[in-house]
Amino acid sequence: MKFLKLKRLKFSFLFKLGNFFLIIVIFSLACLNPFAPELEKTADVQFLVTEQQNPVEVLQNFKLAYFFRDSLLYSDVLDSEFVFYYFDPNLESSGRYVNWDRGADLKTTGSLFRAFDVINLVWGSTTYEDTLSRDLNNAPDKIELIKNFSLKLMDSKGGMDFSLWGKATFTFIKSHYDQKWRIIGWKDDSYY
C-alpha cells in the first residue's frame, strides 16, 4: 500500500514537472515569429536607438530612421520649429534656396519611406562644427555642423534607383524640456 502511494506521488510529481517544462517550451516558442522578416545584415549600421544626448546621437537616430523607414523615429529628431532648406535650380533665372517647415518635411519624408524599399544613408566626415550659443551653465545648447553624406535609394521592383551625395548643414538645439538634442535647421546641398 505504501509502495502504491509512493509510486502515485512520484508519478504525480513527474507529471507536474513535465507539464511545467512543456509550458516553458510553449511560451519560449511563442516568442518566435517564423513570418517576421529578417533584418538586413549591414556592417556599418548600428541598430541602437540613442537618447539624443548630443548631435552625433541625433544623426545616429536620423540614419536609423532612414534605414528602417521609421517616420516616428524620424519625427523625434526634428525640433518643433524645424525648417528644411534646399536649392531649386528651376526657380528664377539661376535658381534659389526654398524652404519648408516640419509638417511638410514629415509628409515628404514619409512619401520617401513608402516609395523605396532600401534606403542607405552613410554619414561622411564633419567638415565644420561651431557652438552657436550656450546655456546658463556655459554648456552648448545650439550647435551647427556640416556633414558629408551619401544616400542610396532602391526600389526592389527595379523601377527607381537613385544615388545622392553632398553635404548637409545641420543646426541642432538642446531642448530645455527633455534635454534631448534635435535638428532645428537643415540646409541640403546634395548632388545627383
Q: Where are the beta strands (DSSP E) in the chain?
A: 78-88, 96-101, 118-134, 140-154, 161-174, 181-191
Tell me: pLDDT of 163 over 60.
Answer: yes
What is the C-alpha to C-alpha distance for residues 38 and 28, in angstroms, rounded to an integer? 19
Report CA-CA distances (Å) from 72 to 69, 81, 109, 113, 127. Answer: 9, 17, 11, 11, 29
Tell which wins on pLDDT, 112 or 158: 112
Q: Is the pLDDT of residue 43 over 60?
A: no
Q: Report yes or no: 102 and 142 within 8 Å, Cβ to Cβ.
A: no
**Band of residue 165 on the pLDDT scale cut at 50, 70, 90:** very high
What pLDDT shows up at residue 1? 53
Q: What is the mean pLDDT of the chain?
A: 85
Indicate the pTM of the whole model: 0.75
The pLDDT tens digits for 80-109 are 999 999 998 889 988 899 999 999 999 999
CA 64 – CA 145 distance, rounded (Å): 19
From its phi and psi, is residue 163 left (phi > 0), alpha (psi between -120 and 50) or beta?
beta
What is the pLDDT confidence band of residue 156, given thresholds at 50, 70 and 90? confident
Please state the domain extents for the chain: 55-191
Model confidence at 65, in pLDDT bands (50, 70, 90)? very high
Cell of 192: 545627383
In this prediction, residue 137 carries a pLDDT of 85
Residue 40 has pLDDT above 80, yes or no: no
CB 168 within 8 A of CB 157: no
Q: Which CATH code of 3.40.50.720, 3.20.20.150, 3.10.450.50, 3.40.190.10 fits the domain covering 55-191?
A: 3.10.450.50
For residue 153, is pLDDT > 70? yes
Point out the least confidently predicted range of 34-48, 64-78, 82-96, 169-183. Answer: 34-48
